Structures are given as C-alpha cells and as structure tokens.
Amino acid sequence: RKPGMTRDDLFAINAGIVKNLCVACAKNCPGAILNIISNPVNSTVPIASEVYKKAGVYDPKKIFGVTTLDVVRSNTFISEAKGFDVNDVDVPVVGGHAGITILPLLSQTYPSTTFTADELEALTVRIQNAGTEVVEAKAGAGSATLSMAYAAARMAEACLRGLSGEAEVYECSYVASSVTDLPYFATKVKLGPDGAEEVLPVGDITDYEKGWLEKLIPELKSSIDKGIEFANTD
C-alpha cells in the first residue's frame, strides 16, 4: 500500500490472487483452516467463502479473516495511554478490517478502565487509521510488515492451540456470522478442534460505540457485496 491508497484500492490486485489460491485450497486441502490476511479482508473473506461454496466444500467454521492486528494496535495504544503492561491488556475489536469498519470496544477493555470523551475519540480514530499512519510514516516504502507478521503468527498459533484441544482459546476474527444482519462480521471467536467453535456476540456497548456501529454497517456491507459479486463473476 502506498500513501493515499486505501485497503480497498488493493482489491484489483489481491482479489484475483485470493480467488485463485482458494480454488487450489478447495481442491487440495478443503478441510484445512484458512486464515485470510490479504487486504481488503472485508472483501477477500467473502471471496474465499464463495469459492468454497462453488466447490461444495464450504465450512464457515474453517475460514477466518485475520483482524488480529487491530487488537494488537488497540492493546498497545491503550497500554501506553493508561500505563498498563501491554501483556495484560485485551481490547475486543469488532466489525471489519478497514477504516471506520474497525470498531475497538474500549468500554470492554481489560483491565477495566475509564476514558474521557476526548480520549475515546482520539484512540478510536487512531486505531481505525493506524494502518494509514504506518503507510505515511514509511513514505512510499510500503505498509505494516513486522506488526502484520506478528498478528498473523498470533492468530495462527491460536488456531493451532484450538486444533490441539486446548480449552478457552479466543481471538477476534472476521468470520461468517449471525451477530448482525451482515453475513460476515468480526467479533471474538472461540477456537476449537473444528475451527470456530463459537462466534461471540458484540456484548454490551456504549452509545458512543453504537454510533460507530451504525456508521460501519453500510460501509462493511458494500465491501462484502463487492467480494461476493467478484467471486461469482467468471
């Protein structure tokens, strides 16, 4: 990603790559867990799912959009703001993985803490725009790399822990979901031997967070529809 580009600008490049990879995966390893990290994740997860449906091997428990980097960034920014040990902090991030579709639920931060209205706004917007912050800081040399690799490793390890039978393994992920009216949505997911064992609800949120949720729904729906349409166009 270059300065001035959005994740959605990557669609033209990555959509076809993801589609072709998923065709191969559906044919050769249909039962494997698939972690989709190629942006725009809001569209590439629907693409992957449609490919698997066409191949007759779709299992919604096995296809994950990796949104872990949003959680990692949230944990980092909140720990810095509040003086917490980052290893002790957990901030659920719901919605999608681009701009305003990223919704950090700061009211559900662990350990429990409080934020002023100004802090809420500044932290929410910074978390939503953190990827762009990195792109601009690199000034044309690319986007997040090491932090993205860390997020990918964390999600992959969580999936492996779930597959091994470890109990109570949770990560936020963008998955097939009935939590909202949208077919895909990121919330906390319980990982188990079969993949997504349980997709958790958003839970109790503040009026401030409800406002962001209302704003993100149409944006996320558009990205989902774009992915589905692409996957079904030969």
Say if CB 50 and CB 40 are below 8 A apart: no
Residues 19, 73, 97, 221: which is the catalytic one? 97
What does the alpha-carbon distance between residue 15 and residue 214 come to, in Å, rounded to a whole number? Answer: 27
Encoded tokens for 206: 């503040």
- d(CA 196, CA 177) in angstroms, rounded, equals 11
SS3 content of the chain, % helix, strand, coil (to 5): 55, 15, 30
Pick from 114, 105, 59, 50: which is nearest to 82 by CA?
114
97 is known as an active-site residue: yes
Sign of CA pseudo-dihedral 98, 181, 46, 77: positive
Enzyme catalytic residues: 97
